[in-house]
Structure 1
Amino acid sequence: MINILLADDHPYLRRGLSQILTDEFPGAVIGEASNVPELLEQAQKHRWDVVVLDLTMPGRGGLEGLHELKRLLPHLPVLVLSVHPEDQFAVRVLRAGGAGYLTKESAPQELVQAIKVISRGGKYITPKAAELLASHLHQHGDHDQPLHSSLSDREDQVFRLIAGGSTITEIADQLSLSIKTVSTYRTRILEKLNLKTNADLARYAVQHHLVE
């Protein structure tokens, strides 16, 4: 028997994933969480073999949740299942201690295979993610490394929201931060990227394929 915790804010997606997993793993215990606080509570309340985590959730995002989860339960394997392409987040997830990264466009069979590998203590890294990770390691400390690679996970999150057109107030509400804190992040981001305005941030993000 395997115990799997699904963390995603979309109930229909959780229901679909739960059906796929119960079909593949008869007798499996499937838990659900719709946000990061629920994820952390459930993770500490019961014993889980694998957590399947979405990155884009309201309030504290999945990446922040991953960091906190690994701090509390460092040996709990986490598979990130995200709408974002691998070139946007796979390296950050793996560096944060994630055991694998899949996009939501992946076939159900690949999700099942990833969970099997991860539940046995392995890591599930697609060829694309492996290529990105190798490139990151090769470029570490290299002057050719893109400026946005120096952003912290929270700075990267705020950067993408600003570049996507969200206002400081909207970002503060979404991330449960103060407007002053978000403004501070914006200032740091502009400094690290050598930019001056939100329009510059949006242009940079488009040029580097960081927003859709």
Structure 2
Amino acid sequence: MIRVLIADDHTILRDGLKQILAECRDMVVAGEADNGLDALKKVREEEWGVVVLDMSMPGKSGIELVKQIKSEKPKLPILILSMHKEDQYAVRTLKAGASGYLCKDSASAQLVSAIRKVAGGGVFISPEVAEKLAFDLHHKSDAPPHTLLSDREHQVFMMLVQGKGLTEIADELNLSVKTVSTHKTRIQEKMNTNNLSALIKYAIKHGLLDEVGDLPD
């Protein structure tokens, strides 16, 4: 029996995932978490077959959370559940230690097979992401600038385009404002721009953000 921990900050989504898995005789949803710290606590307290982990939750989340879980439970399979079809998200999570990457809009059709695959020691990537990844591998010279960012730079980049200031980012990542400012400078150099508005427009164009508010001046 595969014991599944579902970590997502949306109750409706967790309920939907539980409903999908309810009729599977080889797995059971034995725990839930609605934030990164709670997910980490449950991972430490019990043994799990698979953790289904939302990419974006309050507190610790994303690449940082994947790395911490794998450092403490190296054999525990993690299936990332994300709204993003962007292949670079998949690549970064797999490099961090995740065993699979599933887009949320494909969950109803692929969740069961994805859990079975990673629980059995395999790697799962949804077909739409795999197709895009294969295309990009054959067109490396055309790779978009954001793929050149390091994991930390990518994290800061996403927080910047979501409207967070340097001080707020520094507090959330436990970094100094000076360090965050340095990351911002490097991001702008790699992205070949010198203003936040251009970064936000880039993020929208490449589907890195679903929706944002008014662009800054």
Please state which band the TM-score falls in when normalised by the shorter chain: 0.7 to 0.9
Match of 1:152?
Answer: 150
Paired position in structure 2 for 1:192:
190
The question of whether the paired residues in 2 share the 8 Å contact of 1:163 and 1:198 is answered with: yes
In the alignment, what sits opposite 1:91?
91
**Percentage identity across paired residues of the two chains:** 50
8 A Cα contact 1:86 1:102, kept in partner: no
Equivalent residue runs for 1:16-95 within 5 Å:
16-25=16-25, 28-87=28-87, 89-95=89-95
- C-alpha distance in structure 2 between counterparts of 1:112 and 1:153, whole Å: 29
Instruction: Give the equivalent residue in structure 1 for 2:213.
Output: none
- CA shift, 1:169, in A, is 4.1
Q: How many residues align?
A: 210
**Quick check: 97-106 or 82-91, which moved more?**
82-91
CA contact (8 A) 1:60 1:176 kept: no
List gaps (5 residues or longer) in structure 2: 211-217
CA positional deviation for 1:57: 0.9
Residue 211 of structure 1: aligned partner: 209
RMSD after superposition? 2.6
CA contact (8 A) 1:7 1:51 kept: yes
1: distance between equivalents of 2:132 and 2:19? 32
In 2, the alpha carbon distance for the partners of 1:208 and 1:10 equals 25
- Contact persistence 2:85–2:129 (CA under 8 A): no
Quickly say closer, same or farther: Cα 1:165–1:23, change in 2 above 3 A.
Answer: same
Q: 1:162 aligns with which of 160, 163, 170?
A: 160
**Following TM superposition, by how much is the alpha carbon of 1:120 offset from its aligned partner in structure 2, in angstroms?**
1.5
Change (3 A) 1:168 1:127: same
TM-score by length of 2: 0.82
Residue by residue over 1:57-103, the C-alpha shift from the partner in whole angstroms, topping out at 9 and shown as x without a partner, is 12222221112222222221111111222435222222323222111
Scaled by the length of structure 1, the TM-score of the pair is 0.83
Separation (CA, whole Å) in 2 of partners of 1:24 and 1:94: 26
Amino acid at match of 2:28: A
